[in-house]
Structure 1
Amino acid sequence: MTDQEPEAGQDRLDISNTHLCGSRFSCVNLSDSDITDSIAERLSFDDVDLSDLQLLNVNASGARVKDASFARATFSDVSLEGATFDRVSLRDVAITSADCTGMTIDGVSVGDLFSAWNSQQGDASR
């Protein structure tokens, strides 16, 4: 063994079957890390760069997202049932193959909006 401390960026941990409840990480670089088959209930991120984050097979029921940017993000096979969006920019958002049953925007039924638009499109083609 050497008496020298490893250089920054050289430390790697392989943690398994361990409880780290209540742990705090500050000024930590976790780039290229993997967390699998784990429980992270009530996990909090504040002032964290999650660029290129991948969330696969995740249950985030009850999650709160505030002051966040998902610019150029991709969401696929996602359930937003019962979710609430407040002060959200949907500029240049594309939604395809969506079930909008019961969805409202500022209290207006999206289904009614689609019906009115489809009706207007039918009238325009006559």
Structure 2
Amino acid sequence: MSDTPLAIEDRFLIGATFTRVSLKDARISDSHLMGAALDDVNAEGMTFENVNLSGARFHNVNLAGATIDHVNLTGLAIADGSMEGMTIDGIAVTDLLEKWHNG
């Protein structure tokens, strides 16, 4: 195994499969990942900047301690999620939901 960073530029890897691959500290930019799937992946500390995730699906994802800012949440749906400690603009979501349900 080499410690020399691999640079891949201007390549099409359509339909490629990567198994047991470490992309730790990798940088992916100006790239297309439409239809890509991440399954059984540790992405702790991953950063998304200027990323289009419209139509994306997150299932059984741990976002504990994550920060989301400057986002468009139009049409976003959250179902069957734990929201303890979650805030929107500093307001506890559980408090908002309780007030909504109790009128």
- Structure 1 partner of 2:62: 69
Q: Deviations over 1:51-86 (max 9, x none)?
A: 000000000010000001000000000111101111
- The runs of at least 4 consecutive aligned structure 1 residues that moved more than 4 Å come to none
Q: Does 1:79 align with 2:72?
A: yes
Q: 1 CA distance for matches of 2:81 and 2:34?
A: 25
Give 1:1-126 correspondences, 5 Å limit: 8-96=1-89, 113=100
Q: CA deviation at 1:12?
A: 2.6
- Unaligned 5+ residue runs, structure 2? 92-96
Q: Which has the larger radius of gyration?
A: 1
Q: Which amino acid aligns with 1:70?
A: L
How many residues were matched structurally? Answer: 95
The superposition leaves residues 16-41 of structure 1 with CA deviations (integer Å, 9 ceiling, x where unpaired) of 11101100000011101000001110
Query: What amino acid sits opposite 2:61 in the alignment?
Result: A
How far apart in 2 are the matches of 1:27 and 1:76?
31
Tell me which amino acid in the other structure corresponds to 1:42: G
Structure 1 residue ranges without an equivalent (≥5):
1-7, 99-104, 117-126
Structure with the bigger RCO (C-alpha within 8 Å, sep 6+) is: 2
| Matches of 1:9 and 1:71, distance apart in 2 | 34
Letter in 1 for 2:30: D
CA RMSD of aligned residues (A): 1.9
1:11: Cα distance to partner?
Answer: 4.7
Calculate percent identity across the aligned residue pairs. 31
